[in-house]
Amino acid sequence: MLLWIEGFESFGSSPGTPTGITNKYTTFGSTTNNTLAAGRVGGLSFKVHNDPGNTSAIGTPDFGNKATWIIGFGFRPGTRLLDTRIVSLYDSTSEQFTLRMTGAGELAVYRGTTLIAASSGAVGLSSNAWCFIELRVTLHGSAGAYEVRLNGVNVLSASGVRTTGTANNFAQTVRFRGAFSSSAVDQTAFDDIYIADDTAGEVDDFIGSHKVVAVYPDGAGASTDLASSGGANYAAVDDNPHDGDTSYVQSAVDQDEDLYAYQDVTLNDIKGVQINGVCRETDATPFSLRLLCQSGMTLDTGSDLAIGSTSYVTKSRILEEDPDTAAPWTDSAINASQFGVRVVA
C-alpha cells in the first residue's frame, strides 16, 4: 500500500531556498543550506544540507509500526562519492536499517550502525548524475530480508539475516540524509520519492522509475462553504509555496467544506494521488479536517485528521485508486475530479 509520495514541487516554483519544508517534514541537523535544485525529469529536487558535525536529514510523518518497507527515489550524489548515509528507517529515535553510499561507489546496508553487506565493487553511481534507487526490506532480528535496486538492477540482496538495530521488528519513519562534508558541492539531492508497505494495493512491491507531479487549484468546485481572505476561494489556496496568513480559507462551522477544480495532467500508469492540505488552528478549540475527493458521483471524505498546532502543518492523504471506480487512476479521471477540505469542529 502506498504510504507517501514526494516530488518537492510545492516548496517554491524555482531553485533556491525552500519554503514550508518544516511544515511537512521533521528536520535534523542544520537546515541553513537546504535548497531546491533542478529536478531529475523536470520540476525540482531537494538538496539536503551538508553538515559534517551533525546528522542532517528530513524525516517523514509517523506511519505506524511497519515490518516491510518499499522505498524508491531519484538520487544524485555530489561532485564526490562519499561514505555517507542515504536513507534510514527509524524505530522511534533509534536507527533501525540504513542504506549508505561508499566512497568507492558501492551501496551498503546496515542494521543500526553495524554493516550487514556491501555491493561487490562500484554499482554505477556517478558524481552529479541522477539514478533511481529502490529498497525493499523486511525487518526482523534473524529472518529479515532486503533487496537494493539501482536503475532497476538488483545490486545487493539477502534473506534469513538480521536487519534490525533495535529489539523490535518494525520501524515508523523514514529519513533522507545529507552528506557528511563541509563543502556545498558534496550535497546529495532527492526527487520523485515513493514509500509503501507490503499491504496489497497498487503499490506493494517495486514499481521502478517514475515521476511525481504537483498540481494546484485553478477553479471553483461544487462546494464553497469556507470564507476566503479575499477573492475566490480556490485563488486563496493555489499558491506555490503557500503564503501563510496572506491568503487562506477558514471556517469554525462543523462540516463546512470547499472543493476545487485542479490543473490538468497528462500521465500514464498512475500509482496514486496524494492530497496535501497546509493548515493551522486559529483559536484555543482543537479541530480536525478531512481531505476530500469528488470523483464522478462519489464523494470520498476519508477520515478525521487532527491539526494539533497553531503553526502551519501539512496534512496528507493517499488514494491509490479512483474512489468512483475502485480502479487505478487515469489522467482523465484526475482531470475530472475535484479535491478539497472539510472542517470537523
Summarize the confidence of residues 189-218 as an average pLDDT.
Answer: 97
CB atoms within 10 A of CB 15: 14
Location of C-alpha cell 477544480: 261
Check: CB of residue 139 under 8 Å from CB of residue 89. yes
Check: CB of residue 10 under 8 Å from CB of residue 276. yes
CATH 3.40.50.150 fits 2-196, yes or no: no
Summarize the confidence of residues 230-243 as an average pLDDT.
Answer: 97
Of 31, 21, 166, 145, nearest to 95 by C-alpha is 166
Summarize the confidence of residues 3-22 as an average pLDDT.
Answer: 96
Q: How confident is the model at residue 124 (pLDDT cuts 50, 70, 90)?
A: confident
User: If 0-12 CB within 10 Å is exposed, 13-18 middle and 19+ buried, where does residue 328 land?
Assistant: middle
State the pLDDT at residue 6. 98
Summarize the confidence of residues 87-101 as an average pLDDT.
Answer: 97
State the pLDDT at residue 118. 96
The strand pair at 94-101 and 84-91 is best described as antiparallel
Q: What percent of the chain has pLDDT over 70?
A: 99
State the pLDDT at residue 183. 82
Of 87, 88, 91, 59, nearest to 73 by C-alpha is 87
- Give me the residues paired with residue 158 across strands: 146
Checking if the pLDDT of 238 tops 90, the result is yes
pLDDT in tens, 247-257: 999 999 999 99
State the pLDDT at residue 179. 85
Checking if the pLDDT of 54 tops 80, the result is no
Look at 69-73, 81-85, 220-224, 313-317 and tell me which has the smallest mean pLDDT.
81-85
**Average of per-residue pLDDT values in the chain:** 95
No. of H helices and E strands in the chain? 2, 27
Checking if the pLDDT of 57 tops 90, the result is yes
User: If 0-12 CB within 10 Å is exposed, 13-18 middle and 19+ buried, where does residue 216 land?
Assistant: middle
Q: Which three cell numbers stand for residue 31?
A: 537546515
